[in-house]
Amino acid sequence: MTFHCKQCHNLLFRKEDVVLNSPLQFSKCENIVFKESLRVALPVLEMRCSRCDSVIGIVQQKPMLFVPDIEAITESLVTPPIELENFSEQIDNTPLSQEDNLITHYITSAFYWGALLLPLGLALFGKEK
């Protein structure tokens, strides 16, 4: 999940960048600038978009609290796809042959049974020190 500026569509931060809306985590985001300000005679930090300088939220300092400006940021659930400029290799979607299917089946079943039997074998035959 990503958050973008509504005015310039600049990527502000990802949900993974922020843990429990901690303002200290926001300082790692490159597209956000902090400026000191006064709101209702309280000292706050304004979070601004680095590209268009619009206010996207405020951080109250005592107690430490982040308040996003819902009108200024937009939330997208899907990250836009990354466009690769020099992607010359075409993906071949031809179906696998019988032999390739059989090899794939053997490899998959070996991993499956190995994952099941390895802990059992170690539990039964593993040496204790």
Q: What is the pLDDT of residues 76-117, one digit of tens each?
A: 655 555 555 555 555 556 777 888 888 988 999 999 999 989
This prediction has a pTM of: 0.46
Q: How many Å apart are CA 58 and CA 63, to the nearest integer?
A: 13
Checking if the pLDDT of 64 tops 70, the result is no
Cβ atoms of 5 and 47 closer than 8 Å: no
Q: How many helices (H) and strands (E) does the chain have?
A: 2, 7
From 43, 44, 69, select the one nearest 56 (Cα to Cα).
69
- Over the chain, what is the mean pLDDT? 74
Residues 6 or more apart from 43 whose CB is under 8 A from it?
36, 37, 61
